Amino acid sequence: MGRRQFVDVGPLDLEAGGRLPAVTLAYETWGTLAPDRSNAVLVQHALTGDSHVTGPAGPGHRTAGWWQDLVGPGRPIDTDRWFVVAPNVLGGCQGSTGPASTAPDGRPWGGRFPYVTVRDQVAAEAALSDRLGIDRWALVVGASMGGMRVLEWGAMFGGRVRALAAIATTAQTSGEQIAWAHTQIAAIRADRNFADGDYYDAPEGDGPHVGLGIARQIAHTTYRSTRELDERFGRIPQHGEQTLGGGRFAVQSYLDHHGDKLARRFDANSYVALTRSILSHDLGRDRGGVDAALADISARTLVVAVDSDRLYLPAQSERMAAGIPGAVLRTIHSDFGHDGFLIEADQLGPIVTDFLAEG
């Protein structure tokens, strides 16, 4: 369990049809909720993130918080001032209801887990807000897939948010982004151990780890920039190996490492479910198009782009900032690509600090 807390938010009717009869969300909190409940901040994690935004590694948390430099005492989102809540997303595998959870028949959902969209995930978070007694968030902030949920909070529950911060994200998943996601899902499903998602009874170690690892390698390539990969690795052989005749390049070993690392901590079914939710992301669906949906967002909004991001392009951030009334656009310079939102805390921190101060 670690620092996680759990709340039953009840049944959830799903946008694409069907129903989850019972939904549990895992979450963590930091700071103290003000008597008037005006200081609550909701932090949204990315695809393979979790609720452990800040704090040390320890029981239940294999690594330290993923946004340590941004959230904590004296940091840009100062937990001495703000009450920070970070839920594990619906469909995830870190305590919230997902494919590994128990279905009504007593077995894991597995491959039967229903299609959940970004809007479903936000609806579950709104139910969590109700259970916590938070009528309005001072800020909803997140990056990448988390930024998609930030935007949906603004579109679905505009009266419940004072401010939004959407970082390295998009208002609508593009054709290229769908293509990258498709290959990742295909890699997992092609693993013979995936068994159509019903692998939870397999002997330990026999899950679809190879397919999940390959999916992560594809994703990680899109998370970093061409410049970084070329300058850091180029055509350097791994440990001086002869690359002609079976040797490996250093960049191949690097990707294998990241694939193996994720396969040891994440569930393949959740990776598929969450990636499919990214495919569903379209702020303009049933709202008259993206531009109309952006124009209807009333919360004060910060949009942050990473200039070397080749997954969620700066032009997509520019479109969001141009479409949301009064939105502020800031750009981070980074050689690291999309992952700049995690790495460039020295730039992102002051941007968030200034935005909060202006509110």
Q: pLDDT digit string (tens) for 98-127?
A: 999 999 999 999 999 999 999 999 999 999
Residue 194, beta-bridge partner list? none
Q: Are 152 and 58 in contact (CB under 8 A)?
A: no
pLDDT of residue 248 exceeding 90, the answer is no
Cα dist. 349→78, 293, 327 in Å?
A: 11, 28, 18
User: Are 160 and 203 in a shared domain?
Assistant: no
User: Are 201 and 156 in a shared domain?
Assistant: no
120: CATH? 3.40.50.1820
Which of 225, 244, 275 is at the close of a domain? 275
User: Are 144 and 242 in a shared domain?
Assistant: no
Q: Are 88 and 94 in contact (CB under 8 A)?
A: yes
User: Are 182 and 167 in a shared domain?
Assistant: no
pLDDT of residue 238 exceeding 90, the answer is no
Q: What pLDDT does residue 88 have?
A: 98
User: Are 67 and 162 in a shared domain?
Assistant: yes
Q: Are 327 and 303 in contact (CB under 8 A)?
A: yes
Instruction: Tell me what the pLDDT averaged over the chain comes to.
Output: 96
User: Are 96 and 155 in a shared domain?
Assistant: yes
pLDDT-above-70 percentage for the chain = 100
User: Are 126 and 188 in a shared domain?
Assistant: no
User: Are 131 and 222 in a shared domain?
Assistant: no
The confidence band for 16, taking pLDDT boundaries of 50, 70 and 90, is very high
Give the integer Cα–Cα distance in Å for 110 and 153. Answer: 28
The confidence band for 359, taking pLDDT boundaries of 50, 70 and 90, is confident
pLDDT of residue 241 exceeding 80, the answer is no
User: Are 167 and 181 in a shared domain?
Assistant: no
Q: What is the CB neighbour count within 10 angstroms for residue 357? A: 8
Which of 275, 292, 310 is at the close of a domain? 275
What number is the average pLDDT over the span 192-203? Answer: 94
User: Are 85 and 108 in a shared domain?
Assistant: yes
What number is the average pLDDT over the span 299-309? Answer: 98
What number is the average pLDDT over the span 197-215? Answer: 93
The confidence band for 247, taking pLDDT boundaries of 50, 70 and 90, is confident
Give the domain range for residue 115: 5-171+283-358
User: Are 348 and 211 in a shared domain?
Assistant: no
pLDDT of residue 282 exceeding 80, the answer is yes
Which residues are tagged catalytic? 144, 309, 338
Please classify residue 263 by burial: count the beta carbons closer than 10 Å to its beta carbon, then call 0-12 exposed, 13-18 middle and 19+ buried. Answer: buried
pLDDT of residue 244 exceeding 80, the answer is no
User: Are 158 and 302 in a shared domain?
Assistant: yes
pLDDT of residue 240 exceeding 80, the answer is no
203: CATH? 1.10.1740.110
Q: Cα–Cα–Cα angle for 123, 13, 299, nearest 5°?
A: 20
pLDDT of residue 243 exceeding 80, the answer is no
Which of 275, 292, 308 is at the close of a domain? 275
pLDDT of residue 239 exceeding 90, the answer is no
Tell me how many domains the chain contains.
2
Give the integer Cα–Cα distance in Å for 242 and 257. Answer: 20
The confidence band for 352, taking pLDDT boundaries of 50, 70 and 90, is very high
